[in-house]
Structure 1
């Protein structure tokens, strides 16, 4: 039996795991849809859920972050974590890793880099305080480590099964499918006014970038994700009132409380027009 994923199989900042149930409910309302285009694919979880819920639809996962590379490297990542685990066996869960142990862990990572790419984001889930991330050896070496070791291997089998994976600018992908009136567009761009440390500096999003995304909503079927901190809904209301716009008009809105870690939370918002 093929596993149905309710979360991304490898750690990913911004994963929509808390929205899976509601997202499935929204997808169940769709009619006359033959293609789902996930413009900001992230971990691919929305694409995976869309394909499982609408198996007869073509689902295109725009993997701009190259999450598929991390998935392909999962066996090596599991092996590295298994080699690290014995070093932490006498350290209580969620407790600080002593300096001498940290040095040994970094030595294992350095040795692994000689053979394979190291998935430091996945390692972060086992070695850094909740909500902290490292994307390189240098970043990991600068952070305080904690014993948050996962107890089982990461299982990524069949996660991309049935999905069409692309790696391109979202505008290029949108333009390729905008003429299809049976297409449903998923839009989950980086959030404004929300922690962006897991994103590369050259992809940092500003208000003008988000406004560019909003221009795609006219005369399309879409599911858009944003946060309460971005105040995008308020901005759209102001544009509509001031300039007679129709942004987000007649769309359904769903609000969910989400957490980055024990100290930071925000409101996740899903907006759907089918």
Structure 2
């Protein structure tokens, strides 16, 4: 005889929890993002295209996406290195360095921008010893984005290394693998998904960064002007449609790039699953 009682999910309250989750995401994420496209829809296609393809706007796209990608790539390499040192070695001041990694999270972005500008200006503590210019150049933008994105990679890779079974490395050495082969064949497949996730987070944060960049960039049109600054400029001019048009392009390109990165992460997980 069939039971008259409804079979419930193994997770208690799943339906109610899912409902609250979707409501929360809709109010905080989906609804605000949809308003970008709603405001942009008030423009004609010709006005939209002329706005988002202005030479000044295109130059800001190149700088924002290019500097964000370079900064995230640098953080992916050195973030893994820092996480490795913090996990695998013991040395005086280790806890202090571990705490300093989170400093870009706690430091107000405007303070970070002023500090970096003071440091890398031609008369700054570091800039005066450099033969090339950092502040008020695209290089300065990259430095600022690297600074604010470093914790993402370190904090994503660090737990993976902490939970990594060292016996796997020992087994690799017993089977005849040298250190390079062990690192490439055993360790990299384990940390690469986490490193790619950290890269994605650092890249996404860098695209929307404003406070730490506007000071060190100098905001010279066609040279060091980032896209978020152009959006703010149009908002100050009450050109809301133009601001949302540029924001919509940024949103679409960012979504495509993050989708590609997540696809790479999924492919890496499948590729290295048998190692």
Kindly indicate whether structure 1 or structure 2 has the higher relative contact order, using CA contacts under 8 Å at least 6 residues apart: 2
Same fold (TM over 0.5): no
TM bin (shorter chain): under 0.3
TM-score (structure 1 length as normaliser): 0.26
The structure number with the bigger radius of gyration is 2
From the two aligned structures, give the one with the greater helix fraction: 2
From the two aligned structures, give the one with the greater strand fraction: 1
